[in-house]
Amino acid sequence: MAVPGCAGVWVATDDQRIADEVTAFGGQVIMTSPDCVNGTERCADALARLGDVAPMIVNLQGDAPLSPSELIPLLVERLGRDCEAAMATPAVRCSQAVLSHLRSDEAAGRVGGTTAVFSASGRALYFSKRILPYRPAPSAQPGEGAPVYLHLGLYAYRAEALSRYLDWAPKAYEVSEGLEQLRFLDNDQRVSVLPVEQLDWDPIELNNPSDVPIIEQVLTGRGIA
């Protein structure tokens, strides 16, 4: 709500328990279809119910509580500048700690964070649950070789592109990776990546139960919880 120019904030859910909690603290809720398979589908469904509320829609995902709020206006600005892009999303250059976290998840066979690969102009080339680009030496430091960027679960969409999302069927890459943003790439839609340098904290997402204490520690350290 503190983001300048914000037209409104809604929690999109199909669960009445969540709706009741949001209503209890004075928030706005939009009930969506239980058939939504990912957050972007839920946002598209919510937009269809809300109508013409804004030219750009920002999706903050519940499993990404460490997403920096100050990135939201930068993300909207990025989408505004990149006129050919259907959506924009941030990627943070991995610290050694984040890279180690990704490697630990991978070694244990857990589905961990998502990495992003993008061109010099910021055009997304691919997103993966694997560590991309390939780094042959596990002992290599983040500054050695091609950098690894952790994708953050924060999206800004053009309203018209978001409205089209439900018309596209999931294809092989999206199904294989389980990453909703790949549906845009699969349908030849430009995705603009906002590169971000290392933050003062490690912005990991809640992908596994083992992530909970790490996230809680960061939230406590930042005075949020």
The letter for the amino acid at 193 is: V
Residue 28 lies inside a defined structural domain of this protein:
no
Residue 146 lies inside a defined structural domain of this protein:
yes
Tokens of 91: 């990627």
Angstrom distance (rounded) from CA 48 to CA 45: 5
Residue 135 lies inside a defined structural domain of this protein:
yes
- Residue 20's Cβ-count burial label (10 Å; 0-12, 13-18, 19+) is exposed
**193 and 185 in contact (C-beta within 8 Å)?**
no
Angstrom distance (rounded) from CA 158 to CA 58: 9
Residue 138: predicted pLDDT:
59
- The three-state secondary structure class of 17 is helix
Residue 88 lies inside a defined structural domain of this protein:
yes
Residue 24 lies inside a defined structural domain of this protein:
no
Angstrom distance (rounded) from CA 138 to CA 155: 30
Residue 43 lies inside a defined structural domain of this protein:
yes
Tell me which residue of 25, 216, 183, 207 sits closest to 105, measured CA to CA.
207
Residue 21 lies inside a defined structural domain of this protein:
no
Angstrom distance (rounded) from CA 101 to CA 204: 9
**10-residue averages of pLDDT along the chain (225 residues):** 85 96 96 95 96 93 81 93 95 86 82 90 95 73 74 94 95 94 96 87 77 86 72
Tokens of 173: 């890459």
Q: Domain range for residue 135?
A: 37-221
Number of structural domains found in the chain: 1
User: Domain containing 106 — which CATH number?
Assistant: 3.90.550.10
Angle at CA of residue 183, ends 149 and 13, nearest 5°: 90
pTM confidence score: 0.86
